[in-house]
Amino acid sequence: MECPRIFIFFLLSAILFNYNNDVSINVAATNVGLNYGLLGDNLPSPYDVISLYKSIGVTKIRIFDPNTEVLNALRGNTNISVIVGVKDQDLAALAASEVAVEDWFATNIEPYLSDVNISFITVGNEVIPGPIGPQVLPVMQSLTNLVKSRCLPILISTVVAMSNLGQSYPPSAGMFTPQAREQLVPVLTFLSQTNTPILVNIYPYFAYSSNPVNISLDYAIFNTKDVVVEDGPMQYSNIFDAIFDAFVWAMEKEDVMDLSMVVTETGWPSAGNGYLTTPDIAATYNGNFIKHVESGIGTPKRPNCSIEGFLFATFNENQKPAGTEQNFGLYNPTDMKPIYKLF
């Protein structure tokens, strides 16, 4: 099949991550970035974090809101491309007024256009489906019109979770929930018209942890070559591909064809849920995800189509809900040392 058009703004060189003389993360991929969350009271300064990214060769990151300290730290580092999120709580006001959108852009984005490489603006993080889901599309439309009128190379999209799928097994049976069809499908249609990817969060950990008896760990963490699921001519040896393809099938059932997908979040917690969350398992999942992306093999539904993805997250964040949510980080925030070694 012909791959959907993929937007790639940055490359992550084949390098060995090394920080403070401590071998940490060996990443050899072109399309893997990091999420930079700020829900912690012991995080390093943004300038130190950007220095970390530069030292380990990260060339794309995602932040969840237009944090001025982070954006100022990024000034001049145009080799690092950044996805900037609109705060969920701002959507209502922005959906009600194009003037409010213009003011938001003038305050949060325009001051950085000359020396910060902003690739995407995301309108809402996993708010579809939900009570504020209908606010997403009008804000996306207003921002898209604004950046087009300015001839800016910034893409406008939204981030959605796999909760939009009412059915995902087998992948070819993938379909959206009724609420997702109401709220998400118009967004997907708009993105198809603007040739902009939909941004998706895919967490095999949650599928596995909810059903560890019937889902094997090896299938969840890319640790087997054996076929676990046969879906007609398509064969699956990892659950990530199965979830990804279920979303593709669901889009096609709504006549949204060949829309590219960027995986804005995936990862595995290193603690918080007993034997299901250890540093070794987290290292295996994240390392194998990087290998999977690097291989360029795509998924059974979209073979040989490059996947662009972001690992979640840079640091453990102690102000998130207790348990696994605090333990998705690759680095310890207090000393910026790696929590585990990949590969």
Q: In this structure, how many other beta carbons lie within 10 angstroms of the beta carbon of residue 311?
A: 26
63: which strand partners? 84
The one catalytic residue among 265, 294, 308, 317: 265
Q: How far apart, in whole angstroms, are the C-alpha atoms of residue 221 and residue 276?
A: 11
Q: Which residue in the list 126, 294, 308, 317 is annotated as catalytic? A: 126
Q: Find, among 74, 42, 43, 39, the residue nearest to 58 by Cα.
A: 74
Distance, in Å, from the CA atom of 183 to the CA atom of 97, rounded to the nearest integer, reads 20
3-class secondary structure, 309: strand
Catalytic annotation on 252?
A: no
Alpha helices per DSSP H over 124-203? 136-149, 178-194
317 carries an active-site annotation: no
Pinpoint the alpha helices (H) of the chain: 46-56, 68-73, 91-96, 98-108, 136-149, 178-194, 204-210, 217-220, 239-253, 279-295
Q: Which residues are catalytic?
A: 126, 265
